[in-house]
Structure 1
């Protein structure tokens, strides 16, 4: 028997359409979370000037200040996603990170802004473990690549909207002031408050229209966290290769997302409105195209019987992006640099949805929330924590002039891509074996539930 909340997944056109609708709503949540996350990268120089910060401190704000608690809290939130109501968990997170974003606009200095960024991280930690678990329960494995990539379009669309809307918003906010009893709200502070308020209508939409997903595992109780670690230990090369290799690749991806606008502002003298338009198109359009292509290619490869379908696409995209990103950071011609960054962002985004998608085919349904959270812990600490901090440090201490940030980005990107691809190649055969083993276990579990 199955419990009322863990009923078998329904089939048919209506169910399929509703499943796609749920993913679209989750994508909107991801868009909003990414807007809250990357808006600061568009306002780095105004914030730095207002609060008197250096690049290393900025690296902490866009990196560890956000990602430390975001990554750590993903583990308990992942456990909640494996055993509790995932929709309600996401609604709680949306309201939490939106409130923290609004509070960022009232920061009095570096430490208070750092604390607000940490609270944004805690709120956003609820989303992806619950979302990936929900998507895996609503879609069959052969359609999972498309569904996960659709959700991950929230990164490219959210980043694109953040840049495009953020550029206009910053321009508007610099000329606008809202009177308050203790002063006035203007500039980057007003921009944070305005974006933070967007979480309220989204939370209402989710509460009214999204139902908790029925779990494919039936009424089987989620195993303890120790069982998740035992699974990883039994296939340590496979899980280690995916988690560590993908996490190293993420450093290059977040470098392009978080630091590239500041590089173009300094080295190419692009004002906020022009930056917003350019990176809105680069991240929003080219990033979304890359995600769609990645999902389609992975699903086609899976239908041909390739157990490591997402891994194949990840490796190819990582190799292609190497010359594109480095060229974009180092060439002096602004138009050529933007074209190279646009092409690089498309290949970066191609692998965006496939990283977590790989874990879904490696992990039983009852463990996916926590395994995803473990991956996000490592990936975000590397990509959003260590990467921006190292980039800022190298820019500040090893290079000089307007192009120092671009040179630092090129160094960090080159190292991360080479090492990440190497780690995944070493683990590839083990990944294939682990996928086959998980398929056998899931087939046996399904037979037990039916009997």
Structure 2
């Protein structure tokens, strides 16, 4: 018989746990998007087109990340979440390191899939842990701290990754039993190995959070689906509306390096520095701003505060990002991408906050896994693939493809969230009662 604690842990230790989980998320995103910075030398070595690049930065990762998210979400609702996170961290780190040892496109695609397997463990378990450690009126900011790992990881991937790429391009290291490793391969190996010390720190200093429900009271997946069906308007609004917004949010992370290199002639180091500021600084400011404003609105009685904030960001996002992709001036591109990233990152912590507010405590892990399945297929799967197809077969150029996909996705997000906002508000209020 598992026990249920009626008291939440001290907030000081709870914030320490959030910081640890944020670092893990940061590293996961570093491993996830580093390939976008290295895509040009990979494309040259393997002779790839933009459609294949779209598979590598998108569906190659997404396939197993989404498929295994639901069973890992179930494990997060029933088993030790700390151990699940550590296991996944070791797995995706080794897969990233292994990406530097592959012989061709097929091997690299497989390693990307294995990175997805490992990372599928993290967010369902981490967000369930955070929700059990913080009261609702503090949850938005706590989740925003965790979610800032996305922008910090992306920023480090671009800044540190750019330096690694330039260093690795002129460095070779002898690997016993393998031979010389250099260039993008060396960068992948070094970044992948960073996860192993963090896994040890999590294992030795992070305690499992006391649960608000008993494990034997956790319902089956059928009941989770039934709960979502009863609140279909609310869940579909959040999943599809946020998902369309995520399509646009991923574009600077996955395609901006190629855009800046091809269209504006920037070197890897310059690209890394520019995108470190865009993603790391502007993105972090957006995530934390969103969490703080959401908590403030929630304390004033706006149960659906996250939806309202995201809606307010969409019109200026459409203008800023569309202009960024079509501009011929590199400095203007960087400034507009920074503004667009700040606005799109306000969604960062609010998507998970909304799902945690909608889902009963015993279903949070699987609800988050299902949400991640939908938005990751849209944002990292469908979005990059459509961009590649449009670039190769319709426009014959990357800028028009980026601007088209971003504008259409954000417009759809605005329509869906506007008409579904009332259903989300009612469902959150009902879940609290």
User: Which of the five TM-score ranges fits, normalised by the shorter chain?
Assistant: over 0.9
- 8 A Cα contact 1:95 1:200, kept in partner: yes
Match of 2:258 among 254, 257, 262: 262
Match of 2:318 in 1: 322
Match of 1:59 among 30, 40, 54: 54
The reply to whether residue 362 of structure 1 matches residue 358 of structure 2 is yes
Task: Please give the residue correspondences for 1:124-143 in structure 2 after superposition, counting only pairs within 5 Å.
Answer: 124-143=119-138
Distance 1:250 1:101 in 2: 24
Task: Please give the residue correspondences for 1:154-173 in structure 2 after superposition, counting only pairs within 5 Å.
Answer: 154-173=149-168
Return the TM-score normalized by structure 1: 0.94
Distance 1:358 1:196 in 2: 32
Structure 1 counterpart SS, 2:132: helix
Distance 2:42 2:124 in 1: 32
Q: Report the CA distance between 1:8 and its aligned residue.
A: 2.6
Match of 2:79 among 55, 65, 84: 84
Structure 1 counterpart SS, 2:350: helix
Task: Please give the residue correspondences for 1:193-272 in structure 2 after superposition, counting only pairs within 5 Å.
Answer: 193-218=189-214, 221-272=217-268
CA-to-aligned-CA distance 1:309-337 (integer Å, 9 cap, x gap) = 11111111222211111111111111111
Q: Report the CA distance between 1:365 and its aligned residue.
A: 0.4
Match of 1:445 in 2: none
Task: Please give the residue correspondences for 1:169-184 in structure 2 after superposition, counting only pairs within 5 Å.
Answer: 169-180=164-175, 181-184=177-180
- 8 A Cα contact 1:329 1:410, kept in partner: yes
- 8 A Cα contact 2:306 2:351, kept in partner: yes
Match of 1:114 in 2: 109
Match of 2:95 among 100, 109, 113: 100
Distance 2:357 2:313 in 1: 20
Task: Please give the residue correspondences for 1:367-406 in structure 2 after superposition, counting only pairs within 5 Å.
Answer: 367-400=363-396, 404-406=397-399
Match of 2:338 among 327, 338, 342: 342
Match of 2:408 in 1: 415
Q: Report the CA distance between 1:439 and its aligned residue.
A: 0.8
Q: Report the CA distance between 1:142 and its aligned residue.
A: 0.5
CA-to-aligned-CA distance 1:404-450 (integer Å, 9 cap, x gap) = 2121110000000001111111211111111111011xxxxxxxxxx
Match of 1:49 in 2: 44
Return the TM-score normalized by structure 2: 0.98
CA-to-aligned-CA distance 1:1-43 (integer Å, 9 cap, x gap) = x835x323335xxx10100000000000000000000000001
Match of 1:331 in 2: 327
- 8 A Cα contact 1:9 1:215, kept in partner: no
The reply to whether residue 68 of structure 1 matches residue 67 of structure 2 is no
- 8 A Cα contact 1:65 1:115, kept in partner: yes
- Which of structure 1's runs of 4+ aligned residues deviate more than 3 A? none
Q: Report the CA distance between 1:398 and its aligned residue.
A: 1.8
Distance 1:307 1:260 in 2: 36
- 8 A Cα contact 2:321 2:336, kept in partner: yes
CA-to-aligned-CA distance 1:113-151 (integer Å, 9 cap, x gap) = 000100000000000000110111001101111011100
Gaps in structure 1 of 5+ consecutive residues: 441-451
Distance 2:208 2:332 in 1: 47
- 8 A Cα contact 1:83 1:221, kept in partner: no
Q: Report the CA distance between 1:87 and its aligned residue.
A: 0.4
Distance 1:199 1:128 in 2: 16
Structure 1 counterpart SS, 2:174: strand
> Greater shift after overlay, 367-376 or 416-425?
416-425
CA-to-aligned-CA distance 1:57-76 (integer Å, 9 cap, x gap) = 00000000001110110000
Distance 1:108 1:9 in 2: 53
Q: Report the CA distance between 1:182 and its aligned residue.
A: 3.8
CA-to-aligned-CA distance 1:273-299 (integer Å, 9 cap, x gap) = 000111011111110000010001100
Gaps in structure 2 of 5+ consecutive residues: none
Structure 2 counterpart SS, 1:270: coil
